[in-house]
Amino acid sequence: MRQRRASFLCRDTPLPLVLRSAAMTLSGFCHSFILLLSLGVAVPSAAAEASVADNPDFQFALLKYTGGNFNPRPHGLTRLAWEIRRRTSIGMELTVAQVDATDDALFDFPLLVWQGDSGFPLLSDLAIAKLRQHLTMGGTLLVDLSDATPKGAFHQAVLRELGRIFPDKRPTRVPMEHVLYKSYYLVDRHGGRVPAQPFLEGFWLEDRLTVVIIANDLAGAMSRDDFGQWEYDVGAGGDVAREMSFRLGVNLVMYALCLDYKDDQVHLPYILKRRR
């Protein structure tokens, strides 16, 4: 399966050429997306949707690892993919890929999702090297704490591995003025199943936010079972928490596809007004 941004991670292409190719691809996609957005176009026609399965723009990829529960919310990303297809012009693949960090298939996905609710053993040196390569070459990693426990066993294990990937980096808060909060919706809350932490954390490579950590169990708030029922209670947050979760999820995908391209576009009053 080919995605619009997959070519930026071609392993046999020198990095500068890869980045130029990606810039051309992303520029065309983002220009078209913003034009559609300004015209109020969100959902493609039925005929257009028929071609998505053959040539999707985007597919979620869940990071597999041993010794822990790598897929504690099996319906969360699937539901988010459906909502993104419904709300935007992104051609979403509705199934979620599962990819091992040692597999070259890792490089076919611009956004990797790392979920869990317990600790896990050290990743292999090969897995660490490939994750570092993926992120350094333009990939994005979303860490979603399914147990909604900051500094819990899963969080600590992930931070341990991120410390191996980026030995000179430490997680810092993502400022509310970052483009992630305005790449599609204007978002000032973080949703999730549990309001465990009122901010996002991340790792940065130069000026690029490459790892996003959310402590609130984002996928848990979006999960529906096969009968359409919500799988997990969100407490007092209710429907607002679920909607904020979907909006943040949409923004994360837009950011992974376009990075900070739209940072120069969000000043357009009409677009801002429509996305409130």
Closest-CA residue to 112 (of 162, 150, 148): 162
Query: ∠141-178-187 over CA atoms, to 5°?
Result: 90
Eight-state DSSP code of residue 110: S
Report the alpha-carbon distance of residue 175 to residue 161 in Å, rounded: 24
Query: What pLDDT, on the 0 to 100 scale, is given for residue 33?
Result: 53
Task: Give me the pLDDT at residue 11, please.
Answer: 33
Task: Give the pLDDT of residue 258.
Answer: 85
Q: Which two tokens stand for residue 213?
A: 């950590």
Does 3.40.50.12140 match the CATH number of domain 6-274? yes
pLDDT of residue 49: 56
What's the pLDDT score for residue 70?
97
Q: Determine the pLDDT at residue 20.
A: 31
Cα–Cα dist 60/253, whole Å: 9
pLDDT digits (tens, 9 = 90+) for 247-274: 999 999 999 998 655 454 543 444 445 4
| Whole-prediction pTM | 0.81
pLDDT at site 52 = 62
pLDDT value of position 55:
85
- Residues in contact with 273: Cβ distance below 8 Å, sequence separation at least 6, in sequence order: none
Residue ranges, the chain, pLDDT below 50:
1-2, 4-28, 35, 38-41, 43, 262, 264, 266-272, 274-275
Phi and psi at residue 65, to the nearest 5°: -155, 160
